[in-house]
A and B are shown apart, each in its own frame.
Chain A
Amino acid sequence: MPRILITRTGLITAAGAGVDPVLAAMEAGRSHIPSGVGTGAGAGPAGAAPAAPAADGTQSPQHRRTPWPTATLDPADTPWPGGKLWDNAKKYANTAAFGAVAAAVQAMAGAEPVTGDTAIASGVVMAVGCSGSDELNEAMARIAVAAQTDPRPLPKLLYDEVPDFSYIRGIPSQIGQFVAIATGFRGSNVAVYGEGGAGGLGALAQASRLLRSGELDRVIVVGVAPPLSTTMLVAYDREDRLGTAAVPGAGPFDAGRSGAFPGQAAVALLLEREDVVPVFGADAVPVELVSCESRCTPERSGAFAAAAGAALSRHGAVPDVWWAHGSGSTATDAEECAVLGALAAGAHVTSSKGTLGTAFECGGLVDVALAAESLRRGQTPPVGLLVKPDPDLGDLEFVVGTARPAASARTALVTAASHGAKAATAGAAVLWGGAL
């Protein structure tokens, strides 16, 4: 069976556009999560200018503080393409669509849109949840107030007052259609998300199956963690406490951690079967996706064990580097380390979540992009906001403070979990960065 290669990546995070600024921030010990209490969604890093409103106006700068510090995207990094087609499509695009299209365009930069049989052999897999459309935003709240006195029956009031694009633009696979337009990929399009998402690794596993089966030659996997409504953040906090102060010592695996910090992101990974790679030229240095699996069990610990066990069994080796889910959640970090410590014994352990926050629907995909590049560079960056590793997490090789040389590292394990104990889903991917 031909190998599956990751040949192109696009990444947009609070650190900026691309992989480089993220790794630079991690290596410099610079977190992009605002440090203070009450500097939540919409705010930039501490001391930075406030973020501008998102492209579709979902968030406005005066409404940017929640109890949970959030690493946010700069809307300038998620431009919407120009031209009549894109102008017409724009009203159906929410913030997640802006991120998805921008990440896909970045990944495919320099490549001509595919056509003909190549287009039909190329597909899209999305990792993005339902946005709730306009149901949760400010416009809906105002309509709710109006409904108290408006004489019109409720369906008629909503028919008249809710914008006609609102329902469609909340659909995950609708965003995938935009990615299909941007890339020319017409094979198929599906979203994999929610309880089964595992931070996007569910989508990556799905893409892998499309390629392994021979149904498609290439798949672009696009994940987006858009701004979350306050209601959603409250719900997430109930599921598993979110962090409230992103200060040194509050990061993943730290003895002082107290919860995950939300982070926005958009990421695109182009997967191609080895035998079709030349379609896009040789400007990318590919990394092999050896395996990707997701599993759900009644308890999350079992999910970590089942997913990582299945992924590593295809590879048959101990990883050199482990990009852990490592969100800073008190419970999840403990469960993850307890289960995976033995499987990744001796590996450098790092996490991007102390630098970028947790991109709920696509954190695993973000880490795959970062892990691929760190394998190429032969260096493992440290964990943001990690000062004193929690001794209860076991004797693991956490990368603290400064980057660790890893010139001989060839194999990376990436793990991710859906948020909250309810979901009880975990994913694991194994990358090979050695000679192909």
Chain B
Amino acid sequence: MNPSISDLDDDEIVITGMGVVTPIGASVADFWEANLQGRSGLRYEDRMDLSQLPCGWVAGIIPDAMKDEVRERSGAEGRSWGDTLMHDALDQALTDARLTSAPARAAALVWARVWPGPSGSFPQDYAPHLQLQAERYQAVGTDPAAVAEYLADRPMPPELTDVSEFQAEVAARIGTPVLGTRLEATCSGGLRAIAEAARLLRLGDADVALVTASVSRSTPYVLSQYGQLMALSRWKGEDPAHASTPFDARRSGMVINESAGALVIETAAHARSRGVGRFHAVIGGWGLAVGTGHVTAPDVTEVERVIRTAIDRSGLTPDDIDTVNAHGTSTKLNDVTEAGALRRVFGDRLSEIDVCAVKSLTGHGSAASGVVETVAAALTLTHDVVPPVATTTEPDPKCGVKTSLTPVERPVRTVLKSSFGFGGQYASMVFRKAAGAPGR
């Protein structure tokens, strides 16, 4: 049962609408059901020959039937798949929030669309893309004037420039100017987008904020590059579901996915003013940081810093955190670093805190993961149940976090959510219930 908004102070920031498109569901209901059942969306990537790569043979891929459904709902001529995913998730969220009339003032829109590169999102399009590159190179070389002439009348894919009409389409969809921010903060981008949107509301710059992020880039180029970084799972077993095993002793890397998430957030006062009685979660505080030590490796001190900041800015103490929705990528280094930071913050109590890791089922959606996993965090609060980490059958004692193979039913007043990324990106946020939750 969603909590009542009447219990909240006017300036609380609440999530009133949610939408997802993931390998385990293209609706919030299906996504949540799959989370509780531990149903994996991972499969061997059979759309291209990855056999000679040292890793990365498994991906979180949206099933074809689900893709068709999403295209039918949200596709349009000339619209990229990444934009289609965001439109679909956002439409779900707007419907969920019952945001049917234009906000009185500009609406904020904060989004993170991960650019798949000029070939677009699908592996089958990459070889033709390279073929065109080769033909061009053989015809005119790299002389700019000749290239420009060569390209003059040729079609260009919508992903070519990484600029689209998405924002203008949303402005038209909701009938008001959009205070838009397209941001990029590597894999912490989704959670950062939520923080930016919440800040806009707290400053009074907008009454309602839309947040969305999408990723779909399982292409030969991306796989080859992540392969070089040795960041991808090396699971070769019978069941591809076990390729992503956050905090498990057998974990061997992450699994990339295609996914999108969206949220509608607003002040409690604004939600009440338009007759909204229920909400999903209250956004507490957040912590953000940039580390300067390494390009790709996480730093336990920075992780600890953002977690402590998020808790502190929520008006809470570590003892007030009931459960953790982890970044949990299933890489050797991330998981032990994240766990180490959690131990620094929670001490021995960490062994009693239920930790979930959505990437165990969906794979890693880069910037989209922060939004998608926030949906799971909100539902954890709503339903008082922590989803299982169904693939983590051999918990790594070096991590020492408490995961469960089955859903854990327990009162949940607060959830700590984290996202980290290359380039020294760190973000943590606390979500909480209304009545009965500490911190207010």
Mark A residues whose CB is within 8 Å of B: 38, 40-41, 63-67, 89, 92, 120, 123-124, 129-130, 132-133, 135-136, 138, 140-145, 147-148, 152-156, 158-159, 162, 164, 166-168, 171-174, 176-177, 180-181, 184-197, 202, 205-206, 209-210, 212-213, 215, 230-236, 238-239, 293-298, 302-303, 306, 310, 418-420, 422-425
Q: A129-B162, A187-B288, A420-B163 are in contact. Are A154 and B186 (CB under 8 A)?
A: no
- Most chain-B CB neighbours within 10 Å: which of A38, A231, A303? A231
Stretch at the interface among B66-74, B136-144, B328-336: B136-144
List 24 interface pairs A-B (beta carbons < 8 Å), by A numbering: A140-B133, A141-B136, A141-B137, A153-B50, A155-B53, A159-B224, A159-B227, A164-B228, A167-B222, A167-B228, A173-B423, A181-B292, A185-B290, A188-B192, A190-B185, A196-B180, A209-B199, A209-B200, A296-B180, A297-B168, A303-B177, A306-B106, A422-B164, A424-B167
**Interface members, chain B 40-59 (any A CB < 8 Å):** 48-53
Taking a contact as CB atoms under 8 Å apart, the answer to whether B147 and A231 are in contact is yes
Taking a contact as CB atoms under 8 Å apart, the answer to whether B199 and A158 are in contact is no
Q: A155-B224, A191-B185 are in contact. Are A236 and B161 (CB under 8 A)?
A: yes
Q: Does B404 contact A (CB under 8 A)?
A: no
Q: Does B126 contact A (CB under 8 A)?
A: yes
Question: Scoring B residues 129 to 153 as 1 if CB is less than 8 Å from chain A, else 0, what string do you get?
Answer: 0110110111000111101100110
Q: Does B184 contact A (CB under 8 A)?
A: yes
Q: B287 — nearest CB in chain A belongs to which residue?
A: A188
Taking a contact as CB atoms under 8 Å apart, the answer to whether B221 and A135 are in contact is yes
Which A-B residue pairs are the 3 nearest by beta carbons?
Answer: A167-B225, A189-B290, A188-B288
A197 to B224 CA separation, bound complex (whole angstroms): 30
Q: Does B62 contact A (CB under 8 A)?
A: no
Q: A145-B137, A156-B53 are in contact. Are A213 and B202 (CB under 8 A)?
A: yes
Question: Scoring B residues 208 to 230 as 1 if CB is less than 8 Å from chain A, else 0, what string do you get?
Answer: 00000000000011111111110
Taking a contact as CB atoms under 8 Å apart, the answer to whether B424 and A189 are in contact is yes
Q: B130 — nearest CB in chain A belongs to which residue?
A: A144
Tally of contact residues, B, Cβ under 8 A: 82
Q: A360 — nearest CB in chain B belongs to which residue?
A: B163
Taking a contact as CB atoms under 8 Å apart, the answer to whether B200 and A306 are in contact is no
Taking a contact as CB atoms under 8 Å apart, the answer to whether B180 and A425 are in contact is yes
Taking a contact as CB atoms under 8 Å apart, the answer to whether A188 and B168 are in contact is no
A120 to B304 CA separation, bound complex (whole angstroms): 13
- B21 CB to closest chain A CB (Å) equals 21
- List the A side residues contacting B292 at CB < 8 Å: 177, 180-181, 184, 186
A174 to B296 CA separation, bound complex (whole angstroms): 10
Taking a contact as CB atoms under 8 Å apart, the answer to whether A154 and B289 are in contact is no
Q: A146 — nearest CB in chain B belongs to which residue?
A: B134
Taking a contact as CB atoms under 8 Å apart, the answer to whether A231 and B423 are in contact is no
A132 to B163 CA separation, bound complex (whole angstroms): 12
- List the A side residues contacting B290 at CB < 8 Å: 123-124, 176-177, 180, 185-189
